[in-house]
Amino acid sequence: MSRKTASPPNPFVMSKPASPRLTAEQAFALAIQHHTQGRLQESETLLRQILQAHQGHAHAWHLLGIIADQVGRTETAIELIGKAVEADGNVAMFHANLCGICRKAGRVTEAIAHGERAVALDPKMAIAYSNLGLAYYDNKEYDKDETCQLQALKLQPTLAPALYNMGCIMRERKQADEAIAYYRQAIATDPNYLEAINNLGGMLVKEDCPEEALDVLAGALQLNPEYGLAHFNVGCAFNALERFDAALPHLMKALRLIPDYPDALLAIAKAYQGTRNFAEAEHAIRRALELDTDKKAEAHSLLGSIYAEMGETARAGASFAEALKIDPELGDALLGTGNLSMEAGDIDMAEQQFEKALAISQNKLYAYCRLVKVKKIRAGDQNMAALVAMSEQAGKLTEIQLRTLHFALGKCYDDIGDAAQAFYHFREGGRMKRKQMTYDSVANSREADRIIATWDQETLARLRIGGGTSALPIFVLGMPRSGTTLTEQIIASHPDVYGAGELPDMMKIAQRTTVSGDYYPENIAGLTPELLAAWGEDYVAGLQGRAPAARRITDKMPGNFTFIGLINAMLPSARIIHVSRNPVDNCLSCFTNQFNHDSLPYTYDLVELGRYYTNYARLMAHWRRVLPEGAFLDVRYEDLVADNEAQARRLIAYCGLEWNDACLESHKTKRSVRTASVTQVRQPIYTSSVERWRKYEEFLKPLLDELGDLI
């Protein structure tokens, strides 16, 4: 069947008669010549004139139908070639092309009938077998399709459509290597085979080769910049590379070109999730769920992962459950439910879900990584052995997969006491993660300078008169991995306290525009006591919406240490708890974790990490100088684990609450914890992390040099 070309002006318009000196055969030969040269209107005119004189000219009807198909008038094409068959039903090519065009119109039963007639009339016509096979493919009769395509290739080994369709059959059978090989053969035969190029790119994305996919798909978009499926696959490739801002324009264009395309909607949701625009991500999934699609399980699972990131664990659990109701073996949903179980402290259930995901998943890496995270690894662990085996075939992994593998192996080797191997993997994982992120340590130092210059005692005194009276908030802040999660867990074990976890609320408030600037801290110069009071009311209202009956609500966003001056002026009755830890232990703990989001880019390089810690320490020293004594409570992680009861009582008293013994068994508290400390807070208080850095000391010189006198 002829390949589709760009649509010319409507060819079904009569023009001046052909020369009367041409015979029907000569006119038909000229019509073929015009058609071959792309002059479809001239060809159509001649064919119409031939048919005025010779209604039974079967080949004229046939070619007229081919032209109609080329300009996108499929039903007209079927009608016209049908007239060719009425005139002469024994021409195999007529039936072969009717087979292909009926397929395009969704008339699969008719397509199969014409295809079978074509191969019966001419058993040596390769394209007839290929078209019949495509009709069987549409009917999901893949074995019959394969038989047809192999026969076509036996007759014509370089028939590109047959090679392409063999790739599609292998894709449906989940034989990825074979599918990719056939698509490559089709492209080698026909370098401009757009569908084959696109499908090859799509398969490379699915097989975790997104960078190669982008190279391939660039060729598809060069052939047709308006090819929606190619834009979709490009967007998916960028998603796989975690380049979400680059993915969105392509995915949006795919959706414009292919309206109500559920796969594009779900990919858009993933891109929005990657940029932490959860509202738009949820909206895209809801649109996908409104469609009649077989992607509903995937959509519910993706919705569950978004709710989990938002901290809405009940809705996340319900979404994962709905996904597994539709598809009990959906790996992402199993991993998602396992994560929720781990965050809720049900380690045994988490392990069961991860094991189930491992058993059914083709890509077992992430299940293994979850399993080694959920418990302490001992020498000879089978899951660790599997990860080691994967590392020995690193060439088969994408850099993102390899990065995840390095952090998982770092944790395994740390557990069994092999510091050298552990540090190697942490360093390599961090190097790969850092390469994908934008961060400027000089800019961070300048920001600290600006905050220090902005928040002097005069500014604090000027603004404090607008502060609210609410004692609802408890801020737990400090460096990441300093003990903030443990501190919050102790406080949240009190029955009058709701532990809200890491909230973005204060960051959003601090970045509000004033007349003096758009960004913190420049916007503070334009802040009035009245505006400050409104900000405080908005913050408290946001907290109350999360737990209306709670007397106190914790906000454990570590980075809120940059806003301590603002918090103190805005909410002077709020409790602020600053948690600190040995600087080297703190930094090492950051360095050895791959965080779930990209807000901590400084943690993956020892020099940058040391500089960030130094700026944090400068800010904390500044707050102590300019704020009133007692404006915040200092808690040391080492004291917390050495004398837990004394420190727990100190915390509860500072929060203005009566003592409750539940605060001494915080590891038993039933609440979701979504930080890197998710498993640690489920254990009784332990001291093994104190002075942990000593076993890594020989590898830490760049960090130690930056920390200097802070050690």
Over the chain, what is the mean pLDDT? 91
- The C-alpha atoms of residue 391 and residue 365 are separated, in whole angstroms, by 10
Does one domain contain both 378 and 448?
no
Which CATH number belongs to the domain containing residue 643 in this structure?
3.40.50.300
Enumerate helices (H) and strands (E) in the chain, giving the number of each: 35, 5
User: What pLDDT score was predicted for residue 14?
Assistant: 34
Distant-in-sequence, close-in-space partners of 513: CB < 8 Å, separation ≥ 6: 523
What's the token pair of residue 543? Answer: 């907290």
User: What pLDDT score was predicted for residue 20?
Assistant: 53
Distant-in-sequence, close-in-space partners of 437: CB < 8 Å, separation ≥ 6: 598, 601, 604
User: What pLDDT score was predicted for residue 19?
Assistant: 47
- Main-chain dihedrals φ then ψ at residue 456, nearest 5 degrees: -100, 175
User: What pLDDT score was predicted for residue 13?
Assistant: 36
Q: Which of 571, 576, 563, 555 is nearest to 629 (CA)?
A: 576
Does one domain contain both 381 and 476?
no
Least confident of 124-138, 349-363, 644-658: 349-363
User: What pLDDT score was predicted for residue 11?
Assistant: 34
Looking at residue 2, what DSSP letter applies? P
What's the token pair of residue 16? Answer: 């001046």
Q: Which of 209, 119, 194, 125 is nearest to 164 (CA)?
A: 194
User: What pLDDT score was predicted for residue 6?
Assistant: 35
Average pLDDT over residues 96-114: 94
Instruction: Answer whether residue 2 shows pLDDT above 60.
Output: no
H or E stretch covering 312: none
- Main-chain dihedrals φ then ψ at residue 476, nearest 5 degrees: -115, 115
451: in domain: yes
User: What pLDDT score was predicted for residue 398?
Assistant: 84
Paired strand residues for 476: 577
User: What pLDDT score was predicted for residue 345?
Assistant: 81
User: What pLDDT score was predicted for residue 399?
Assistant: 87
**Neighbour tally for 504: CB within 10 Å:** 15
529: in domain: yes
Length of the chain: 711
Does one domain contain both 521 and 453?
yes
Q: How confident is the model over 155-189, as pLDDT tens digits?
A: 999 999 999 999 999 999 999 999 999 999 999 99
Q: How confident is the model over 284-327, as pLDDT tens digits?
A: 999 999 998 889 999 999 999 999 988 788 999 999 999 999 99
515: in domain: yes
Q: Which of 499, 478, 480 is nearest to 488 (CA)?
A: 499
Instruction: Answer whether residue 7 shows pLDDT above 60.
Output: no
H or E stretch covering 394: none
Last residue of a domain, one of 416, 436, 456: 436
Does one domain contain both 409 and 461?
no
Coil/strand/helix, residue 106? coil
Instruction: Answer whether residue 4 shows pLDDT above 50.
Output: no
431: in domain: yes
Average pLDDT over residues 393-399: 86
Instruction: Answer whether residue 516 shows pLDDT above 80.
Output: yes
H or E stretch covering 7: none
Which pLDDT band, with edges at 50, 70 and 90, does 518 fall under? confident
201: in domain: no
- Please check whether residue 644 is in contact with residue 650, taking contact to mean a CB–CB distance below 8 angstroms: no
Degrees, nearest 5: CA angle 656-661-665: 115
499: in domain: yes
User: What pLDDT score was predicted for residue 690?
Assistant: 85
Average pLDDT over residues 462-484: 94
Does one domain contain both 578 and 447?
yes
Half-sphere exposure of 585 (CA within 13 A, CB side): 15
User: What pLDDT score was predicted for residue 687?
Assistant: 66
Degrees, nearest 5: CA angle 88-90-91: 85
Instruction: Answer whether residue 679 shows pLDDT above 60.
Output: no
- The C-alpha atoms of residue 67 and residue 681 are separated, in whole angstroms, by 71
Does one domain contain both 529 and 671?
yes
Instruction: Answer whether residue 15 shows pLDDT above 50.
Output: no
Domain that holds residue 389: 363-436
- Main-chain dihedrals φ then ψ at residue 88, nearest 5 degrees: -155, 100
Q: How confident is the model over 247-260, as pLDDT tens digits?
A: 999 999 999 999 99
Last residue of a domain, one of 420, 436, 452: 436
Counting residues of the chain whose pLDDT is more than 90, the rounded percentage is 84
Following DSSP, what letter does each residue of 411-447 receive, concatenated? HHHHHTT-HHHHHHHHHHHHHHHHHT----HHHHHHH
Average pLDDT over residues 80-92: 95
Instruction: Answer whether residue 107 shows pLDDT above 50.
Output: yes
- Main-chain dihedrals φ then ψ at residue 336, nearest 5 degrees: -65, -45
Q: How many domains does the chain have?
A: 2
User: What pLDDT score was predicted for residue 18?
Assistant: 44
Does one domain contain both 425 and 464?
no
Instruction: Answer whether residue 667 shows pLDDT above 70.
Output: no
Does one domain contain both 570 and 549?
yes
Of residues 243 and 599, more confidence is placed in: 243
User: What pLDDT score was predicted for residue 292?
Assistant: 84
Least confident of 478-492, 496-510, 577-591, 682-696: 682-696
Average pLDDT over residues 469-477: 97
User: Computed from CA positions of residues 382, 384, 387, 391, in that sequence, does the dihedral angle turn out positive or negative?
Assistant: negative
Residue with tokens 């966003």: 557
Q: Looking at this protein, which amino acid is placed at residue 292?
A: D
Q: Which of 465, 496, 489 is nearest to 655 (CA)?
A: 496
Of residues 674 and 555, more confidence is placed in: 555
Does one domain contain both 417 and 530?
no
Which pLDDT band, with edges at 50, 70 and 90, does 17 fall under? very low
Instruction: Answer whether residue 681 shows pLDDT above 60.
Output: no
Which pLDDT band, with edges at 50, 70 and 90, does 620 fall under? very high
Does one domain contain both 382 and 450?
no
425: in domain: yes
Instruction: Answer whether residue 8 shows pLDDT above 60.
Output: no
Q: How confident is the model over 549-605, as pLDDT tens digits?
A: 999 999 999 999 999 999 999 999 999 999 999 999 999 999 999 987 677 999 999
- Terminal CA-CA length for the chain: 76
Largest Cα–Cα separation, the chain: 111
What's the token pair of residue 402? Answer: 């390899």
Does one domain contain both 403 and 476?
no
Residue with tokens 């609450």: 657
User: What pLDDT score was predicted for residue 1?
Assistant: 35
Of residues 609 and 21, more confidence is placed in: 609
183: in domain: no
Does one domain contain both 552 and 633?
yes
- Please check whether residue 491 is in contact with residue 473, taking contact to mean a CB–CB distance below 8 angstroms: no
How far is residue 261 CA from its own chain's centroid? 18
